[in-house]
Amino acid sequence: MVCISINQESRRLALVDMLNAARYADLLEVRLDRFGKAPDVGELIANKPKPVIMSCRRAKDGGYWDGSEQERLAILRQCIISKADYVEIELDAADDIRRFPPSQRVISYTNLQETPPDILDIYDDAKTKSPDVIKLVTLARTPEEAWPLVQIVAKATVPTVVVGLGKPGVMLAILGQRIGAPWIYAALEHGMEAYPGEPTIDDLGTIYRFHDVHKSTRFVGVTGFGEREIITVATLNAVLAQAESPYRCLPLAVGDLKVFRKVIDAVKLGALVVDAEHQQRILQIGAEAHGAAKTTQAADVLIHKGDAWHAFHTAAQTWIEALKNALASKFPGDNPLKDRMVVIVGVNASARILAAEVQRHGGSAIVASFNKKAGQDIAHEIGCRFILFEALYSTMHDVLVVCAEEKHEDPMKPGSGGIHAGYLKAGMTVMDLTASVRPSELLREAKLRGCLTIAPRDLLLNQLDQQVRLLTGKAASRQALEQAIPERYQEEME
């Protein structure tokens, strides 16, 4: 079931939101602490369009109640007597409000600062309060914080709802859906979230495909929570659903790799799609590298087969193919990249990977950065040239690839604030890997100056196509990939 919270300050607006939310939710939570005046509990229950949870939260639990504790408890008792379907009662108040069927008591624990080390003991304490449902709400920003919650979700002995505050909390919601948690929470729409990072009901359906998740569902983990990762989850889920695959995507944070390994083992991941930040570290979980992953020592897709993880790097191939296709009109032949001068700006993992691949395909990579030592280290390792960032404007090159934003440590120094588009010449090829899903200002300027530009949208879709082939063994149509992009990103990516 999906529960949508009603967070209005008046009876009239609350009733309106209850009607609107009832079209999408199985359960409604009415936040009585939000009301400006004493709520008419009987009227709210009499007009409920769906089963309701009545809650009245204190400030320390993320609520707005400013009256006395005795007044608050009296309201909760009134909810039980009025036969609300569920009444949320804090763990430390559970002994003050007795059972009164048919209302069911939700014994809740909330911690807005952390997932405490003794959360398992707290859960055991909640089980002693004769709960109908237990609800735990804590921070879940990293695998370290989420791990004990994953353990609780996986081994719940009473109906249990776990809410992880923050973007990684969607992982716990989807896991809860798989094991049959009583309900998961969603916002009615953007701007009405009960906490930062809470998914909307539309996101749950169109991006995370939660209706497809059940006990036999297997997961493809997707690390990261940026726009690119959200689009990846939505697209892969759509293609997996179309292929009638038992797999769906599970958003994950990485954090400590030892704990991360525990999490992916506990949820029995079948594959993993890795964000740019973690593509080198991820090999430390003990994956066997194949193809480009072996030469770059980085991976963006891992597949679990037999008892081992196998690592691949689809981005490296995507970048090289994009450069070859862009250069083909000017330099026809089997390998348009051969002997081309490619300046790579930045000294991050992407720069290292791309420099190695350019060299391997017969091009001449030139790493440019303000950071002399880091740039020289990459150049020495790869066997290519290094130039200081300022020399970018006087060095001959056919291709410019931006892998990281470059800023001098002295912001007052002339030329310290990134690339000046004025030096770009017609016919030059420009690719900007810092552009997530929409063209950067540099790409827009380059296009105006007659350069050949590689659109971030095309890079992403081409990489997703390769990832789909690895995960399913089948190709997905370009149309299917494009249609799966969430609507709110469609125009931005043009």
Q: Which 3-state string (H, E, C) describes 379-430?
A: HHHHCCEEEEHHHHHHCCCCEEEECCCCCCCCCCCCCCCCCCHHHCCCCCEE
The C-alpha atoms of residue 436 and residue 276 are separated, in whole angstroms, by: 11
pLDDT given at position 492 = 55
pLDDT given at position 417 = 55
- List, in order, residues 6 or more apart from 289 with CB less than 8 Å away: 283, 297, 299, 311
The C-alpha atoms of residue 447 and residue 424 are separated, in whole angstroms, by: 10
pLDDT given at position 124 = 95
pLDDT given at position 180 = 85
| Tokens found for residue 430 | 């420009």
| Tokens found for residue 79 | 């909810």
The upper half-sphere exposure of residue 315, i.e. CA atoms within 13 Å in the direction of its Cβ, equals: 26
The full set of domains in the chain, from first to last, is 2-198 (3.20.20.70), 317-455 (3.40.50.720)
The sheet carrying 429-432 orders its strands as 385-388, 364-369, 341-345, 399-402, 429-432, 452-454
pLDDT given at position 416 = 47
Q: From first to last of its 494 residues, what are the pLDDT tens digits of the chain?
A: 899 998 888 888 889 999 999 999 999 999 999 887 888 899 999 999 999 999 999 999 999 999 999 999 999 999 999 999 999 999 999 999 999 999 999 999 999 999 999 999 999 999 999 999 999 999 888 888 888 888 888 888 899 999 988 888 888 899 888 988 899 999 888 888 877 778 899 999 999 999 999 989 999 999 998 888 999 999 999 999 988 889 999 999 998 899 899 889 888 899 999 998 899 899 998 889 998 888 778 899 999 998 899 999 999 889 999 999 999 988 888 899 999 999 999 998 889 989 999 999 999 999 999 999 999 999 999 999 999 999 999 999 999 999 988 876 655 454 445 788 889 999 999 999 988 788 899 999 999 999 999 999 999 999 999 999 888 888 888 888 888 888 777 665 55
Please state the pTM of the whole predicted model.
Answer: 0.85
pLDDT given at position 413 = 55
Q: 356-366: buried (b, 16+ CB within 10 Å) or exposed (e) per residue?
A: bbbbbbebbbb
pLDDT given at position 408 = 67
What are the φ/ψ torsions at residue 228 (nearest 5 degrees)? -60, -40
